Structure 1
């Protein structure tokens, strides 16, 4: 009986944990207007044609990005704080998983607002759709 109760508690805990990890903030509700500031990086060449977390293939030439929590398909305006240039990207991947970084941009998206030689830029992001 004690074993069964313990297994039941583990099952409930795991179910709750799974539900939390698969529910995206904004899923089932809009996050339009959400803003965040921090560092942006871009995908290395080795990611070309590899699957993203959404199942799409990563392509350097597309304006896409990875964010830890925003819903797949969200449109996000990314603005380079230093020069004021901005680009609109579609969230189709998860990441970045490096402290201090808030978004990973495709190479073309990064190039349109900053120089890839810098590696990182300070940005503000805003969910627009």
Structure 2
């Protein structure tokens, strides 16, 4: 399968999940795709988890591409786990071909968690990092 096909499929999956679709089938002369989305039972969070979650800000990918925590063309890291960041500071770059999308922190705080690794492929709105005040 081509990378373009996989990217388009990823976009379709995001749309299907958002619409609440449970099953999707597609077939052509060269490709067959069967998708089934399982219901995931949600466990109510504890009061402690709720308080902690309110203090955390999740930072997501602005598009499809590969995550970089190093400034392109240099060896300078943009951020590291535990680093202090300011609002609108670029914390990562999502690159696809010659398109570079900055991932900016929406709040000032500290990088509490990195949910992806350098060079990992991400889709639109995939979780990249968590920032705490």
- Do the structures match in fold with TM over 0.5? no
More strand by share: 2
Provide the TM-score with structure 1 as the length reference.
0.26
Provide the TM-score with structure 2 as the length reference.
0.26
Of structures 1 and 2, the one scoring higher in RCO (CA 8 A, sep 6+) is 1
More helix by share: 1
